[in-house]
Each structure stands twice: as structure tokens, then as C-alpha cells.
Amino acid sequence: MGLLEPVLQHVMLDVCADYISGKRLLERVAPTGKRNGFPLISTFQQPEFEAILLAGLQRFTCVNVAFEHTVEAFEQTEQGVIVAVRTAEGNLNKITCAYLLACDGGKSSIRRALGIPMQGSTFAQKWSVID
């Protein structure tokens, strides 16, 4: 995507992770592998990362970014996908596109509507990562 250099300027590569319960260190994980050429644990500030991705998208005139919009429904047709999107003002717009990706988070409403289960695992208890 041509964003490796800007992203790497804001990433801490090859960090260790400490798992703590109370004041007791349970485990320190120091990954040694580099799957896909990068360390298995690296950290970044999400707002900086998202700004880099947004700037990268803005290079393309065929891309429109719409914040505060909600997908309400979609329909697969012979020609592509028709998506009903609710704006922050409450207007319902229809967008026609070649395809729709279910990249709307772990509790994806799009994936759920298509009957695609989440792969992998999650924790039953709520927890927080503090850096």
C-alpha cells in the first residue's frame, strides 16, 4: 500500500509483554519469531496509525471516507452490492459498490448477517491493556 515507512516511524517493534495479576508477574513474553518479516509483538498509538491510513486513502480519488455512518442493510445483486447507510443526520443513503468487506469489528453486523462466525478466540472476562 506504500505506507510501510510512515507506519514504521510510529511503531515500537519487538517489545516484550508482561502479564501481571495484582502485584505479581505471571509471565513475560518475548517473541523471537518474525512471521511476515515483522516481530510478533509490536505496539503503536492507534490514533497515529489511523491518521496514516486515512492519509493513504486520500491519495485515491475513487475512495470516499464517511465517518459517523451506519450500515443498516445490504443486498447482493448480479452487478454488485447495494448498501443502505444511515448518516449522522439520520438520512438513509443507498450506495452501489462492486463488493462489501466485513471489516466492522469483532462484533461485525455484516458478518453476522451473512452467517460468518468469528474465527479465533476471545476472553469471557473484560480486560484492559495498559502501556
The DSSP line for the chain is ---HHHHHTTEE-S--EEEEETTEEEEEE-----GGGS-S--EE-HHHHHHHHHHHHTT-TT----SS-EEEEEEE-SS-EEEEEE-TTS-EEEEEES-----S-TT-HHHHHHT-PPPS---SS------
For residue 129, the model assigns a pLDDT of 65
Q: Please, what is the Cα angle at 103 between 102 and 104, to 5 degrees?
A: 95
Sign of the C-alpha dihedral, residues 2, 68, 119, 124?
positive
Query: What confidence score (pLDDT) does residue 41 get?
Result: 81
CA angle 95, 97, 101 (to 5 degrees): 105
pLDDT value of residue 93: 96
pLDDT of residue 98: 93
- pLDDT score, position 78: 94
**What is the structure's pLDDT at 131?**
55
What is the reported pLDDT for 105?
Answer: 77
Q: What is the mean pLDDT of each run of 10 residues along the chain (131 residues)?
A: 92 87 89 83 89 94 90 94 96 94 83 85 68 55
Planar angle of CA 92, 51, 56, nearest 5 degrees: 85
Measuring CA to CA, how many Å separate 32 from each of 18, 37, 41, 120? 15, 12, 9, 22
